[in-house]
Amino acid sequence: MNHGDFLKDYRIKDEPYYRPQAEEIALFTAAYERRLPVMIKGPTGCGKSRFVEYMAWRLGRPLLTVACNEDMTAADLVGRWLLDSDGTRWQDGPLTQAARHGAICYLDEIVEARQDSTVVIHPLTDHRRQLPLDKKGELIQAHPDFQLVISYNPGYQSLVKDLKPSTKQRFTAFRFDYPSADVEAEILARETGIDPGLALRLIGLAESARRLKGHGLDEGISTRLLVYAASLMADGMAAKHACRMALVDPLTDDDDIRATLEHAIDALFG
Ligand SMILES: Nc1ncnc2c1ncn2[C@@H]1O[C@H](COP(=O)(O)OP(=O)(O)OP(=O)(O)O)[C@@H](O)[C@H]1O
Ligand SMILES: [Mg+2]
C-alpha cells in the first residue's frame, strides 16, 4: 500500500465527540509533541478509546487500532511472509504499517497479549524508535510522526495479568475513571438526546452499582452501558425495561445483586 492511500484510509474524517475530564487533551498533545509513548488505564467503557480517536483526529494523524488477545503473536503485530501464486510476499502488520507511515498505533487491552509478543514494541518506545523485522531482515526507523498508545483495564485483571516493569516503564500514563455525575450527564445527553435530568437519574443508579464493585461485582456500570440505556429511553422505551436490558442483565447473573439493582430502579423510576 502506498503512503498516500494508507494515510487516507486510516485518517479520522469527522471530529469524534469527546468531553474532557481534566487536562488530558493538553497533556496528550505535549506527549505527542515529544513522541512519548502513552498508556491509558481505566475500567471498561470509561472513554479510553474515544479519547484516542479524538486525539488522532485533533493531531491529524491516522489511527491504527489493534485489539490484543492471548492468541496474538508478534507476527500479528509486525507482519509475516505470505504465500500466493507468485511466490512469497511480505505483508506488514499494523504496528509496522503505523511505524512506516507515521500513524498512531493503539494497542487495546495490551495485557491480554503474551509478553513475548509485546516485547517487540520495546525498541520502538525508547530513543531508538526502531522496529526490527527479523523474519524479513529489515530494520525500520519509525516515521517522525509515529506514536504508540496502549490501554488496559487494571481492575479485575491485575491479579493474574500485568505488564512487565520493563514494558510499563517505557510509557507515560493516564488513569481514567468514570466521569463525575454532571460530566457524565452531559455525555449521555449529547450522545443520545436524553433529557439531562433523566440522565442524572440513570447516573444515580450507576453510582449505587459502582459501590458494589468488589462486593459481588467485578466492575461497575460503565459509561458505555449508560449510553445504551439512555438511547433506549430516548427512543421511548420504558425506563424499567431499558435499565434492565442495558444496566442489569449485561452486568451480573447474581440473584442478590440483581434484586438490589431492580429495587434501585423501582425507587428511581417507580
Ligand atoms: N469523555 C467522553 N466523551 C464522550 N463520550 C464518552 C466519554 N466517555 C465515555 N463516552 C461514551 O462511552 C462509550 C464507551 O467509551 P470507550 O469506547 O471509549 O470506552 P473504553 O474505555 O475504550 O472501554 P474498553 O476498555 O471496554 O474498550 C463511548 O462510545 C461514548 O459513548
Ligand atoms: Mg476501548
Q: Which CATH fold would you assign to the domain 3-175? A: Rossmann fold (3.40.50)
Ligand at shortest distance from the CA of 176: 1
Q: Is 238 helix (H, G, I), strand (E, B) or coil?
A: coil
Phi and psi dihedrals of 118, rounded to 5?
A: -85, -15
Q: Is 71 exposed, middle or buried (0-12, 13-18, 19+ CB in 10 A)?
A: exposed
CA–CA distance, 93 with 72 (Å, rounded to integer): 12
- Interior angle at CA 252, CA 194 and CA 199, nearest 5: 15
Helix extents (H) in 119-222: 154-157, 165-168, 181-192, 196-210
Average pLDDT of span 4-12: 84
State the pLDDT at residue 154. 85
In this predicted model, what pLDDT tens digit does every residue of 32-81 receive, in sequence order?
999 999 999 999 999 999 999 999 999 999 999 999 999 999 999 999 99
Using an 8 Å Cβ cutoff, are 236 and 222 in contact? no
Buried b or exposed e, range 79-113, using 16+ CB within 10 angstroms? bbeeeeeeeeeeebbbbbbbbbbbbbbbbbbbbbb
At 196, the pLDDT band (50, 70, 90 cuts) reads very high
State the pLDDT at residue 8. 82
Per domain, the residue ranges of the chain are: 3-175, 181-269
Which atom, in ligand 1's list, is nearest to the CA of 176?
A: 21
> From the CA of 149, how far away is ligand 1's center (Å)?
16
In this predicted model, what pLDDT tens digit does every residue of 137-172 receive, in sequence order?
999 999 999 999 999 998 765 556 788 888 999 999
pTM, 2 dp: 0.95
Instruction: List C-alpha distances in Å: 269 to 198, 202, 203.
Output: 10, 9, 12
Residue 117 burial (CB count, 10 A): 21
Q: Is 17 exposed, middle or buried (0-12, 13-18, 19+ CB in 10 A)?
A: exposed
Which atom, in ligand 1's list, is nearest to the CA of 21?
A: 1
Q: Cα 43 vs. chain centroid, distance in angstroms? A: 10
Q: Which residues surround ligand 2, an ion (CB under 5 A)?
A: 49
* Any atom of ligand 1 within 6 Å of the Cβ of 65: no
List of residues 6+ apart from 193 with CB closer than 8 A: 234
Ligand at shortest distance from the CA of 50: 1
State the pLDDT at residue 157. 57
Residue 90 has pLDDT above 80, yes or no: yes
> From the CA of 17, how far away is ligand 2's center (Å)?
15
Average pLDDT of span 163-187: 94
Using an 8 Å Cβ cutoff, are 232 and 246 in contact? yes
C-alpha radius of gyration, the chain, whole number: 21
Mutate to test the pocket of ligand 1, among 223, 228, 232, 251 (most ligand atoms within 8 A of CB): 223
State the pLDDT at residue 105. 97
* Any atom of ligand 1 within 6 Å of the Cβ of 46: yes
* Any atom of ligand 1 within 6 Å of the Cβ of 206: no
Three-class HEC string of 150-172: EEECHHHHCCCCCCCHHHHCCCE
Mutate to test the pocket of ligand 1, among 46, 51, 112, 247 (most ligand atoms within 8 A of CB): 46
Residue 181 has pLDDT above 70, yes or no: yes
Residue 206 has pLDDT above 60, yes or no: yes
